[in-house]
Chains A and B, each alone.
Chain A
Amino acid sequence: MSTNTIATPKPKKPWRPTPKALIPTYLGILATILGTWILIEFTGLAGKLGAFASAVFLTTLISSLIAGLQRGKQAAKNAAVAAIITSGALVAVFPVVSILGTVIARGVKGIYLGFFTTDMGLASVNDPLNVGGILHAIVGTALMIVIATLVSVPLGISTAIYLTEIKGPGTRLIRFLIQAMSGVPSIVAGLFIYSALISGSGRGFNGLFGAFALAILMLPTVARTAEEVLLLIAQDLREAGLALGATQWRTVAMVVVPAAKSGLITAVILGVARIAGETAPLLFTTGGGDVTNLNPVDGVMGSIPFAIWKALISGSEESNARAWASILVLLVLVMVLFFSARRLGKVRR
């Protein structure tokens, strides 16, 4: 190098706005807040919608005004669109915040220790909240999830292996059908099981049938996620296995599947999350009992979603509170599943 004495300057990001350049922005935010307050206070706009609408309107107006004064007409348009798009994203996220807040606030009121250890067998919908619980529903949901998993996971993972490893005849058709199947309305799955196994057969509702209906809904989720996971496995790995003289069966079983293990578990968890709260198919298949029933092939079986449904339909104040408490339990279950799937998914990458 010609000279070694050059002091390296500090890396900078001159495209980031300087504090001074941000002053108009801060003034703009202030003006927006003030303006929103004035609009709500002195015009007919009222309520959350009014506040939000006027905030969006003023943000759009003021930010495009600032950009326009600084950099001309097209910058003004750009800023206005940015404000609208950002507001759209806020609207998309708002329901989650509201749902979580409402469910937690209303749900905790109905929760007491006995809620998890007693069932509704002897309690009526109008009983106070410290009587009865959802043990029957938790047991039912757990049993049905286990059975649905046992049915759908082998089928789903076979499908994924067929699509990624064997690629035999009909690969495109099967991929297409799996995609189409993921859009089958849950009520149709319930009606199908009812029409195929219950209607006219003399058999009654039971947990097994419910689990079958759930398995139909779980299958596409498992298959699609597992396919994505298997596609991420490097082709070299498969070729390395085959080049060692292994059969395809051994390559898949000993190289590909172990390499994709955590991803495949993620696929199963996502499948379980998909069905944990399904209500409609159970209405046609399980009967929704109030008593804890450990036998999936005999007699009606409760489940958390069905318990919520029942409490909702009966409409008394106590049952409403029970519905919120049950949905809090369901929400916690779904969130635990969701976050563990994400965690596992992250480890993989």
Chain B
Amino acid sequence: MLEEKASSTPKPREITTRPRVSDKIFRAVIFTGALSSLVILAAIAIFLGARGFEILAREGLSFITGYEWYSSINADGTSGDDPSVYGIGAMLIGTIVIAFIAIAIGVPISIAAALYLNFYAPNIIRGFLVGVIDLMAAFPSILFGLWGFNILMPSGEYWAKLLHKYLGWIPLFDVSTPFFSRSPFIAGLVLSIMIIPIVTSIAREVFSQTPLDRIQAAYALGATKWTMIRAVVLPFGYSGVVGGAMLGLGRAMGETVAVFTVLNIVFQANFQILLGAGGNVASMIILKFGEASAEEIKALMAAGLMLFLLTLIVNMLADLLVSRTVKQGR
């Protein structure tokens, strides 16, 4: 070999260990268990894809862009005259509209709450409030649905009327008929409350990673609490908070029961958010599932696949943003 005479620096030795049999078994078992997430996520995509393939292949792109959902086959197997059409465009738009209403309302509140908990709250109150917000994260969604329908909706309707009265000239707040109950706005309102715990806890964690020396440097330069937050905390936490908001967005897009409870589900793309008609993919699946024919069920599986992929992408992006900020602080 050439190297042998050329260099006097020794090559690093390779250290090999031969694990004991017990360790080999242990590692194999644990590794198998650890693969479960990969297996399950892949299985979800494969099974929903396989069941929905027929519909996806037939409808093509219009499954996503089409506004019409019509099944000509009845549950009893009899067939109608017109051919079936499956398009979830209207519901996808509804999903996005409602989720954005939720983060538009929920995220500012969550940021305020996180700033309060980190920088304003006295110690005793902080512990208590953190507990309350964590508890809220454990509330099941049907609880929010029931509460939203019975308690929040009357107020929400009143607020919607106020919005319409004073801001009705903006197309978003206009309504074609004065029907304010069970609107996307109210669904978004309920969802905004449901995402407050997760967005708050992520924003709180991100803000708490702000390096102390930067905070002190700002104070030593005569900063007030607010100018310190604006110059140090918000730039540091920015991408983490955006990630937290996206996690909230993912939650809001996938939420089913709470939306179904408060929303008047109508199969149309509705940009008049105060008008009591709308829908999202998840609540549509629940609505159609009960009386669906075999063919329509396949279409619903395809819709479920779309929802899965949409939330997966949003969540992955969110996770990247959050972990980047949290690491940067360490």
Contact = CB atoms under 8 A, between A and B. Distances in A.
Judged by CB atoms under 8 Å, the answer to whether A and B touch is yes
Contacts, number: 267
B115 A85 contact: yes
Contacts of B132: 93, 96
A47 B157 CA distance: 13
Interface on chain A toward B: helix, strand, loop, or mixed SS?
helix
Nearest to B252: A185
Contact of A219 (B20, B36, B50): B36
A82 to B, nearest CB: 6
A61 interface: no
Given A98-B151, A183-B315, A330-B140, A49 B158 contact: yes
Given A277-B139, A334-B138, A185 B109 contact: no
A252 B27 CA distance: 11
Interface residues of B, number: 92
A335 B22 contact: no
Interface residues of A, number: 91
B140 A159 contact: no
B307 A47 contact: no
Given A93-B129, A188-B307, A308-B146, A180 B315 contact: yes
Contacts of B44: 184, 188-189, 192
A87 interface: yes
B111 to A, nearest CB: 7
A154 B34 CA distance: 10
Contacts of A305: 140, 142
Given A88-B112, A159-B34, A308-B146, A180 B51 contact: no
A187 B43 contact: no
17 contacts: A49-B155, A78-B227, A81-B226, A85-B112, A99-B143, A158-B29, A158-B30, A158-B34, A177-B37, A183-B318, A184-B44, A188-B307, A223-B37, A247-B20, A312-B146, A330-B143, A334-B140
Interface of B: 19-20, 22-23, 25-27, 29-38, 40-41, 43-44, 47-48, 50-51, 108-113, 115-117, 120-121, 129, 131-136, 138-147, 150-151, 155, 158-159, 193, 196, 200, 224-227, 247, 250-251, 253-257, 261, 282, 285-286, 289, 294, 297, 300-301, 304, 307-308, 311-312, 314-316, 318-319
